[in-house]
Amino acid sequence: MRALVSLFIALPLFASQPLETETARLLPAGAAKVEVVAELQKAHEGTERAFPLVFEYGLTDRTELTVEPVLGTSIRPRSGQHASGFGDLEITLTQLLRRENGALPAFAVAVETKIPTAHNRLIGTGKADYTGYLIASKKLDRIDLHANLGYTIIGSPAGTQLKNIIDYAFAEEFHLSPRIDFVGEIIGNTSSTGETVEGAPATNPTVPPEAAGAEISALLGVRYRATPALVFALGVSYDNNHAWLIRPGITWRFGK
């Protein structure tokens, strides 16, 4: 037991999958983290599968680079055209502004670029998006809290006029033991189309199906830390489109 407690104290706490909320707890310089994730979604309209790969690297003790390609996506509606292929690529640079000190949380800012690498218009819009985030993280005994507020400049395909959106997220991590975390998250965004659900409006077929509608989802999950470098995770979420999403994943940390 003493060895496990020592492991828990020595191990820095970094928010990671199944959460999507950004954290102000960055990797130190020279440290890296790889996450392999499966996103399995089912709704009345059909099913979706996506397999993102997340690579994070500490450029300095205050600057972190994240690269997230989606290696495969499959969209299978109950009716209509099916689609599969490579998804979009996201690149994020995060800068720590101040470390947590006393009652004040840690603060960071991030800039994310979505590069339109998806060739199928049912998977991506074909245009780049740009997002800026404000990030706060606060530790309260065994609980870690994280909050995000973002603004996304949406790229509009020819013949459409999509609206820029506001993104928000709140997450908590409860460290039950040195090996087990229970996590929860609420994440959402305003609509780029004027619709209250995802998908192209029936009255405007020129809007890309993957253009973001107003969305909010809630997630509950668990992590199991097999070793200081290897973590298994599972999350289950439900959103306002009445879709269930199961998100299993593996995280491997290496370097410093």
pLDDT at 201: 45
pLDDT at 179: 95
Residues 106, 46: Cα–Cα separation, whole Å? 41
Kindly tell me if the per-residue pLDDT of 6 is higher than 60.
no
Kindly tell me if the per-residue pLDDT of 9 is higher than 70.
no
- Strand-pairing partners, residue 254, are 32
Domain residue limits, the chain: 2-254
pLDDT at 210: 63
Query: Is-contact 235 223, C-beta < 8 A?
Result: no
> Mean pLDDT, to the nearest integer, of 19-36?
96
> Mean pLDDT, to the nearest integer, of 110-117?
96
Please state which CATH number belongs to domain 2-254: 2.40.160.40
- What integer best gives the mean pLDDT of the chain? 88
pLDDT at 119: 83
For the chain, the distance separating the N- and C-terminal CA atoms, rounded to the nearest angstrom, is 25
pLDDT at 42: 94
Token couple for 140: 């309260």
Count Cα atoms within 13 angstroms, Cβ side, for 121: 9
pLDDT in tens, 183-229: 999 999 999 887 655 544 444 555 666 666 789 999 999 999 999 99
